[in-house]
Amino acid sequence: MSKNKQSERVLNLPAGYFGMVLGIIGMGFAWRYASQVWPVSHLIGDGLVILAMVIWGLLTLAFLSRLLRFPHSVLAEIRHPVMSSFVSLFPATTMLVAIGFVPWYRALAIGLFSIGVVIQLAYAAWQTAGLWRGSHPEEATTPGLYLPTVANNFISAMACGALGFNDAGLVFLGAGVFS
């Protein structure tokens, strides 16, 4: 295979696929809460949370494989004016998976939360810096720009609340509100 053909090969797995985890785990959390309010089984909610965790794990392995094998495609996605916002779904779903682990394995939940929150803060700062410098094209201004700052800070606040870090949660809530 020629060098040119090999450089064109990519693993077509955009970070936006982590949106599947977002929806499934959200439904699982809603079902968990419903089981505390209404006479429904919590097992359906737990099953949805576990399904989301499995999908997250597989997507994470694939995304890391893509990062190692085809770093140019990940960098292209990060630098893309629209698709770059969806890269923030990785740390967002990492923190949601951490919330899912809280009832079962707190130490793992704290570890995943720590990884997710560091990545989301770094990525949001990097992306926001580009916006402040004025390097973001006007025609690429979409609601997706709110994902790294607003949505991820709200998810960080949720995770802090689930883990008992209430003061830090208030900071993230405020950052999300004022972003």
**Summary mean pLDDT of the chain:** 91
The answer to whether 130 and 148 are in contact (CB under 8 A) is: no
pTM equals: 0.90
Domain boundaries, the chain: 14-178
The answer to whether 131 and 145 are in contact (CB under 8 A) is: yes
CA 17 to chain centre: 10
Q: Which whole-number Å values give the CA distances from 69 to 65, 91, 92, 104, in the listed order? A: 6, 21, 23, 34
Burial of 33-65, coded b for 16+ CB within 10 Å and e otherwise, reads: eebeeeeeebeebbebbebbbebbeebbeebee
* Tens digit of each residue's pLDDT (9 = 90 or more) over 37-95: 999 999 999 999 999 999 999 999 999 999 999 999 999 999 988 888 899 999 999 99
Q: Which whole-number Å values give the CA distances from 162 to 14, 45, 103, in the listed order? A: 29, 16, 9
What confidence category does residue 3 fall into, taking pLDDT thresholds of 50, 70 and 90? Answer: low
Residue that is written with structure tokens 């720009």 in the block? 145
Average pLDDT score over residue span 92-120 = 97
Predicted pLDDT at 1: 46
Residue 109 has pLDDT above 80, yes or no: yes
* Alpha carbons 55 and 164: distance in angstroms, whole number: 26
Q: Rounded to 5 degrees, what are φ and ψ at 165?
A: -95, 70
What confidence category does residue 128 fall into, taking pLDDT thresholds of 50, 70 and 90? Answer: confident
Which of these, 129, 117, 120, 130, lies nearest to 165 by C-alpha position?
117
* Alpha carbons 53 and 97: distance in angstroms, whole number: 6
Which of these, 116, 122, 119, 66, lies nearest to 95 by C-alpha position?
116
Architecture of domain 14-178: Alpha/alpha barrel (1.50)
